[in-house]
Amino acid sequence: MNGSIIWYLQRISSLFVLTYTIWLFSSFRSFDGTFLGWDLLTSSIVFRLFTTITIISILMHAFIGLWTVGTDYLTSRTLGFLSYRLANYADLIRNSYQILFVFLGLIFLIIVLIVIWI
């Protein structure tokens, strides 16, 4: 993987999240507090598409961040500071950690897509 692509993905995804947050709060200004108003907002195609893109951006951003943390702190070198024995399992621990947050991210994505689109 090219480092520049990761750099761009992280920055662009954060801009999406920021734009979405501003847009969402500005939408609330015209929200009248009724169920109908809420339904109108959340059932619009703009809301659904924008939310989907933002959720994907959040997951991408989180994946890059957590992957960076894992490759910094869950290596044989860093775990070796805690225990020599633990250092032998560094790859296993790091891979398990990555599988865990990818799994949780996918569950989060599926739940959000179901809530928004179905």
Partner 1 sequence: MIEVSIYRYNPETDKFPYMQKFEFTPPEREIMVLELLTLLKEEDPTLSFRRSCREGVCGSDGMSINGKNSLACITPLSDVLQKNKIDLRPLPGLPVIRDLVVDMTEFYNQYEKIKPFLQNDQPHPEKERLQSPEERSKLDGLYECILCACCSTSCPSFWWNPDKFVGPAALLQAYRFIADTRDTRTEERLESISDPFSVYRCHGIMNCVNVCPKGLNPNKAIGEIKKTLLLRKESGNELIAKSGGT
User: Which residues of this protein are in contact with partner 1, per CB under 8 A?
Assistant: 1-4, 6-8, 71-73, 75, 77-78
**Cα 24 to Cα 54: distance, rounded to the nearest angstrom:** 11
Q: Among residues 8 and 103, whose Cβ is nearest to partner 1?
A: 8
Least separation in angstroms between CB 35 and partner 1: 46
Q: Among residues 39 and 72, whose Cβ is nearest to partner 1?
A: 72
Return the axis-axis angle of helices 45-73 and 90-117, rounded to nearest 10°: 170
Residues 76, 77, 79, 84, CA torsion sign = positive
Q: Among residues 47 and 67, whose Cβ is nearest to partner 1?
A: 67
Encoding tokens for residue 44?
């619009």
Least separation in angstroms between CB 52 and partner 1: 27
